[in-house]
């Protein structure tokens, strides 16, 4: 399920795709006549063992890229039998059953995704090396209308603001990503895999142009259709990717604007079946074999088109959901998996996290607004077995996003807080390459705003690059001036073209109640706002509709008053 706004190979193994690039494409789609019908469905066939495999853990270079092996070696993670491709002999025997179409194989689950009718499935299950089978989809495909998540077509681009972040400044500043960028860490050399429903416009819109121009789009793979076509379908993936990788100074800068990306379409927007969980598994194995560092996944599963197979809260225990088990293995092989918590917080029937957010050893991300107040829609924890979830939170209310046409707008959802944080994870790991994936998660949690008193709403709270860096480097912290907020109080964007204004808080104006007043050029009071105590470096002002002109803003903390002017165009 795509977590949108609140309004809410075939062959030996999937890892064979690891060396493919966007230009080459990982495979060709099955013939149209072989698409599932009312009786032909996809199934996950589990094998009993990997007997007869020609692969060996002592020669992992045969199925893992050099980058993948280097990631494991840095973290002292051994290559295990779990990592071996499935037995080629088993694959051939499955393919030999008339009426069977092999889509993918899974190293981690020792399984294969096949499409066949029920009679053929019985023949496959009768093979001596087959342990069990799980049906992945039911009913006819294409029974839903496509989901849309397109921002208002009237939304325009914003003028450049401080550090040229545009409307993305607040969400980056909240996590210390602006400080991270100033320190020289923008994701260079880090690989991020984004799993979603489509990425239209990423190959054409100017905020994404540097990704392709600088050869930082390492590969694309549409797992749903088994080809390399990802610049289509739903725009949700475009929006999520933009919060990390969009890079157009003066308009928008994401949290890891210099990272390298691998884009995967795993979500079928036309239906909701467990096959999408299997797609996630295949994409994660591809990402592993290609050497990806971070997976950003704004997807979640609890309900399906056939309610009889819905998950229950008891299933959110880190061991049940297929996609959860896949995410856990992805974490075990040394990737940082960043997953949205879900948008079910206001749902009386289900207010909890959705799979794979319940997975152990991953970063599950909740949502707050710009004042660090938890969003009502953000899914709550804990897991069914009592673990703290979400782990952390980031700005997911009115998050700045880029549309396929290059427009900057805003959207709500843990879909957006997840990638915003994933970009900061990339920069933090870049700055601390000696850390393991689990150490990265640990330091970020220790840097959280609720590090000592985690809860079931935002876990350890909102992390901060500066605090996390200094925790990881106690003998060589960042310069003090780079860690603390700036001393001046200012309003941005200035000048402003719309009524969206932010107030950067000076030292002494954080964590205390504030009275904000705005006066026009004649000295008349035109807006007044009370700001609750917050540790954030910036807060959003709500002046209402302002006419063009020069305005004066006074801010009082009860002991001191400061004044700043701004212009409305």
How high does pLDDT run on average in the chain?
87
pLDDT score at 152: 35
Q: Which has more confidence, 342 or 503?
A: 342
- The pTM for the full model equals 0.79
CA–CA separation, 166 and 124 (whole Å): 56
CA distances from 139 to 117, 142, 273 (A): 12, 10, 10
CA–CA separation, 467 and 469 (whole Å): 5
Q: Which has more confidence, 33 or 198?
A: 198
Asked if 193 and 429 touch (Cβ cutoff 8 Å), the reply is no
Residue 484 pLDDT class (50, 70, 90 cuts): very low
- With 90 as the cut, is the pLDDT of residue 349 above it? no
CA–CA separation, 288 and 69 (whole Å): 9
Residue 139 pLDDT class (50, 70, 90 cuts): low
Among 139-153, 346-360, 490-504, the minimum mean pLDDT is found in 139-153
Name the DSSP letter for residue 453.
S
Q: Do domains 162-480 and 490-568 have the same CATH topology?
A: no
Residue 504 pLDDT class (50, 70, 90 cuts): confident
Percent of all residues in the chain with a pLDDT value above 70, rounded to a whole number: 86
Mean pLDDT in residue range 491-517: 80
Q: pLDDT by residue (tens digit) across 418-437?
A: 999 999 999 999 999 999 99
pLDDT score at 508: 81
pLDDT score at 93: 97
Mean pLDDT in residue range 156-185: 80
pLDDT score at 4: 42
Name residues whose C-beta falls within 8 Å of residue 228's C-beta, 6 or more positions apart in sequence.
20, 22, 24, 25, 26, 219, 220, 221, 222
Task: For residue 374, give both structure tokens.
Answer: 């938890």
Residue 490 pLDDT class (50, 70, 90 cuts): confident
Q: pLDDT by residue (tens digit) across 271-282?
A: 899 999 999 999
Task: For residue 541, give both structure tokens.
Answer: 């002002």
Asked if 183 and 482 touch (Cβ cutoff 8 Å), the reply is yes
Q: pLDDT by residue (tens digit) across 243-291?
A: 999 999 989 999 999 999 999 999 998 889 999 999 999 999 999 999 9
User: What CATH number should be reported for the domain whose range is 162-480?
Assistant: 3.40.50.200
Domain boundaries, the chain: 14-135, 162-480, 490-568
pLDDT score at 80: 97
Residue indicated by tokens 């997840």: 418
- With 60 as the cut, is the pLDDT of residue 485 above it? no
330: phi then psi, degrees, rounded to nearest 5: -55, -40
Task: For residue 426, give both structure tokens.
Answer: 């990339």
Residue 479 pLDDT class (50, 70, 90 cuts): low
- With 70 as the cut, is the pLDDT of residue 156 above it? no
- E strand spans, 143-277: 191-196, 217-222, 247-248, 252-253, 260-265
- With 90 as the cut, is the pLDDT of residue 567 above it? no
Mean pLDDT in residue range 298-321: 95
**CATH fold group of domain 490-568:** Immunoglobulin-like (2.60.40)
Residue 2 pLDDT class (50, 70, 90 cuts): low
Q: pLDDT by residue (tens digit) across 39-86?
A: 899 999 999 999 988 999 999 999 999 999 999 999 999 999 999 999
Mean pLDDT in residue range 436-462: 96
Percent of all residues in the chain with a pLDDT value above 90, rounded to a whole number: 73
- With 50 as the cut, is the pLDDT of residue 17 above it? no
Asked if 465 and 535 touch (Cβ cutoff 8 Å), the reply is no
Name residues whose C-beta falls within 8 Å of residue 414's C-beta, 6 or more positions apart in sequence.
3, 298, 340, 341, 342, 343, 365, 366, 367, 375, 377, 378, 379, 396
pLDDT score at 159: 34
């Amino acid at each position: 399920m795509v977590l949108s706004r609140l309004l809410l190979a075939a062959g030996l193994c999937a890892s064979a795709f690891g060396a493919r690039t966007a230009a080459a494409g990982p495979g060709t789609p099955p013939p149209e006549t072989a698409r599932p019908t009312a009786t032909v469905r996809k199934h996950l066939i589990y094998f009993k063992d990997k007997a007869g495999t020609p692969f060996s853990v002592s020669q992992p270079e045969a199925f893992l890229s050099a980058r993948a092996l280097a990631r494991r070696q840095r973290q002292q993670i051994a290559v295990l039998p779990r990592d071996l491709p499935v037995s080629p002999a088993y694959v051939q025997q499955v393919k030999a059953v008339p009426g069977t179409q092999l889509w993918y194989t899974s190293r981690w689950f020792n399984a294969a995704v096949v499409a066949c009718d029920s009679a053929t499935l019985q023949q496959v299950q009768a093979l001596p090396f087959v342990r069990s089978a799980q049906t992945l989809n039911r009913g006819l495909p294409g029974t839903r209308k496509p989901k849309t998540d397109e921002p208002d077509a009237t939304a325009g681009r914003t003028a450049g603001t401080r550090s040229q972040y545009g409307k993305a400044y607040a969400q980056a500043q909240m996590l210390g990503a602006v400080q991270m960028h100033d320190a020289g860490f923008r994701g260079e050399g880090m690989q991020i895999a984004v799993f979603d429903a489509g990425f239209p416009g990423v190959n054409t819109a100017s905020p994404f142009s540097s990704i392709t121009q600088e050869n930082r789009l390492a590969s694309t793979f549409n797992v749903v259709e088994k080809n390399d076509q990802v610049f289509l379908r739903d725009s949700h993936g475009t929006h999520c990717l933009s919060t990390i990788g969009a890079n157009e100074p003066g308009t928008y800068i994401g949290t890891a604007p210099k990272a390298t990306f691998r884009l995967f379409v795993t979500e079928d927007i036309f239906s909701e079946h467990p096959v999408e969980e299997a797609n996630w598994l295949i994409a994660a194995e591809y990402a592993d074999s290609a050497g990806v560092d971070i997976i950003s996944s704004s997807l979640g599963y609890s309900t399906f088109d056939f309610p009889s197979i819905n998950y229950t809260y008891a299933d959110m225990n880190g061991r049940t959901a297929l996609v959860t088990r896949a995410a856990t293995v992805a974490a075990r092989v040394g990737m940082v998996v960043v997953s949205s918590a879900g948008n079910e917080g206001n749902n009386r029937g289900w207010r909890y996290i959705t799979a794979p957010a319940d997975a152990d050893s991953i970063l599950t991300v909740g949502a707050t607004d710009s004042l660090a107040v938890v969003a009502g829609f953000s899914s709550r924890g804990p897991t069914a077995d009592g673990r703290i979830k979400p782990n952390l939170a980031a700005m997911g209310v009115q998050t700045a996003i880029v549309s396929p046409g290059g427009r900057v707008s805003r959207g709500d959802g843990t879909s957006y807080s997840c990638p915003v944080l994933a970009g900061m994870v990339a920069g933090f790991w870049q700055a601390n390459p000696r850390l393991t994936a689990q150490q990265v998660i640990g330091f970020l949690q220790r840097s959280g705003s609720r590090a000592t008193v985690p809860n079931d709403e935002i876990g350890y709270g909102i992390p901060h690059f500066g605090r996390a860096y200094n925790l990881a480097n106690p003998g060589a912290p960042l310069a003090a001036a780079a860690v603390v907020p700036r001393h001046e109080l200012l309003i941005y964007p200035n000048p402003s073209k719309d009524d969206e204004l932010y107030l950067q808080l000076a030292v002494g104006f954080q964590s205390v109640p504030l009275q904000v007043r705005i006066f026009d050029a004649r000295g008349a009071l035109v807006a007044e706002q009370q700001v609750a105590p917050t540790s954030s470096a910036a807060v959003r002002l709500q002046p209402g509709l302002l006419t063009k002109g020069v305005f004066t803003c006074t801010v009082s903390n009860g002991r001191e008053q400061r004044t700043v002017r701004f212009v409305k165009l």
